[in-house]
Chains A and B, each alone.
Chain A
Amino acid sequence: MLSFLLLYQDRITATLNVFALQSVMLTLAVAWQAYSQGAPHLLVTALLALVVKGVVIPGAMHRIVRRLEIHREVEQVIGGGPTMLAGLGLVALSFLLVLPIGKSGRALTNPLVREDLAFALAIILLGMLMMITRRNAVTQVVGFMSLENGLVLAATGAKGMPLVVEVSVAFSVLITLFVFGLFVFRIRERFDSVDVGALDRFRGERGEPS
Chain B
Amino acid sequence: MIEPIYALLLTPLLAVAILAAVSNYRVGAAINMVASGLSCCAGVALLFVERVRGDLLIIDDFNIYLVILTTFVGFTTSIFSASYIGHELETGRLTPVFLRFYHALYQTMMGAMTLALVANNVGLLWVGLELATLSTVVMVGLYRTPAAVEAAWKYFILGSVGIALAFFGTILVYLVAQDVLGQGLAAMRWDALVREAAKFDPQLLSLAFVFLLVGYGTKVGLAPFHAWLPDAHSEGPTPISAVLSGLLLNVGLYALLRFKMVLAANPAALDVGKIMIGLGLISVVFAALMLYRRRDIKRLFAYSSIEHMGIITFAFGIGGPLANFAGLLHMTMHSLTKSAIFFVVGHIAQVKGTQRLDDIRGLSTTHPTLAVGLAIGVFAIAGMPPSGVFMSEFLLISSSFPHAPLLTAILVIGVLLAFGALVLRLQGVLFGTPSGERGAVRATYIPLFIHLAIVIIAGLWLPEPVIKWFRIVAAQLG
**Leading 6 A-B pairs by shortest Cβ distance:** A160-B183, A199-B150, A202-B146, A205-B295, A101-B204, A154-B171
Per the CB 8 Å criterion, the residue count for chain B at the interface is 53
By the criterion CB–CB under 8 Å, are B156 and A179 in contact? yes
Indicate whether A105 sits within 8 Å of B207 (C-beta atoms), given known contacts A179-B138, A208-B295.
Answer: no
B100-141 interface bits toward A, Cβ cutoff 8 Å, 1 = contact, 0 = none:
000000000000000000000101101100100010011001
Q: How many Å from the CB of A181 to the closest CB on chain B?
A: 12
Q: Could you jot down 12 A-B contacts, CB within 8 Å? A: A97-B207, A105-B199, A140-B157, A144-B157, A144-B164, A150-B168, A158-B171, A159-B178, A160-B184, A161-B171, A164-B121, A190-B146
Residue on B nearest A164 in the bound complex, by CB: B123
Q: How many Å from the CB of B406 to the closest CB on chain A?
A: 29
8 Å CB interface, A152-172 against B: 154-155, 157-162, 164-165, 168-169, 172
Q: Which residues of B are at the interface with A, using a C-beta cutoff of 8 A?
A: 121, 123-124, 126-127, 130, 134, 137-138, 141, 144, 146-147, 149-150, 152-154, 156-157, 160-161, 163-165, 167-168, 171-172, 174-175, 178-180, 183-185, 188, 199-204, 207, 231, 268, 292-296, 299
User: Majority SS of interface residues in chain B?
Assistant: helix
A142 within 8 A of B: no
Indicate whether A172 sits within 8 Å of B130 (C-beta atoms), given known contacts A102-B201, A117-B175, A179-B138.
Answer: yes
Q: Which of A144, A154, A168, A186 contacts B127 (CB 8 A)?
A: A168
Q: Which of A102, A106, A117, A208 contacts B293 (CB 8 A)?
A: A208
Indicate whether A124 sits within 8 Å of B168 (C-beta atoms), given known contacts A183-B149, A202-B147.
Answer: yes
Point out the residues of chain B lying under 8 angstroms from A140, CB to CB.
157
Q: How many Å from the CB of B289 to the closest CB on chain A?
A: 11
By the criterion CB–CB under 8 Å, are B293 and A210 in contact? yes
A113 within 8 A of B: yes
8 Å CB interface, A62-107 against B: 97-98, 100-106
By the criterion CB–CB under 8 Å, are A151 and B160 in contact? no
Indicate whether A151 sits within 8 Å of B168 (C-beta atoms), given known contacts A179-B138, A199-B150, A205-B295.
Answer: yes
Point out the residues of chain A lying under 8 angstroms from B168, CB to CB.
120-121, 124, 150-151, 154
Point out the residues of chain B lying under 8 angstroms from A155, CB to CB.
167, 171
By the criterion CB–CB under 8 Å, are B201 and A101 in contact? yes
Q: Which of B179, B207, B231, B292 contacts A106 (CB 8 A)?
A: B179
By the criterion CB–CB under 8 Å, are A187 and B149 in contact? yes
Q: How far is the CA of A199 from the CA of B145 in the complex (A)?
A: 12
Residue on B nearest A127 in the bound complex, by CB: B164
Residue on A nearest B147 in the bound complex, by CB: A202
Q: Which of A109, A120, A175, A204 has the most CB of B within 10 A?
A: A204
Residue on A nearest B178 in the bound complex, by CB: A159
User: Majority SS of interface residues in chain A?
Assistant: helix
By the criterion CB–CB under 8 Å, are A204 and B295 in contact? yes
Q: How many Å from the CB of B209 to the closest CB on chain A?
A: 13
Residue on B nearest A191 in the bound complex, by CB: B146
8 Å CB interface, A169-196 against B: 169, 172, 175-176, 179, 183, 186-187, 190, 196
Point out the residues of chain B lying under 8 angstroms from A162, CB to CB.
123, 184-185, 188
By the criterion CB–CB under 8 Å, are A101 and B164 in contact? no
By the criterion CB–CB under 8 Å, are A147 and B164 in contact? yes
Indicate whether A203 sits within 8 Å of B147 (C-beta atoms), given known contacts A140-B157, A179-B137.
Answer: yes
Q: How far is the CA of A124 from the CA of B169 in the complex (A)?
A: 12
Residue on A nearest B171 in the bound complex, by CB: A154
Point out the residues of chain A lying under 8 angstroms from B179, CB to CB.
106, 108-109
By the criterion CB–CB under 8 Å, are A165 and B175 in contact? no
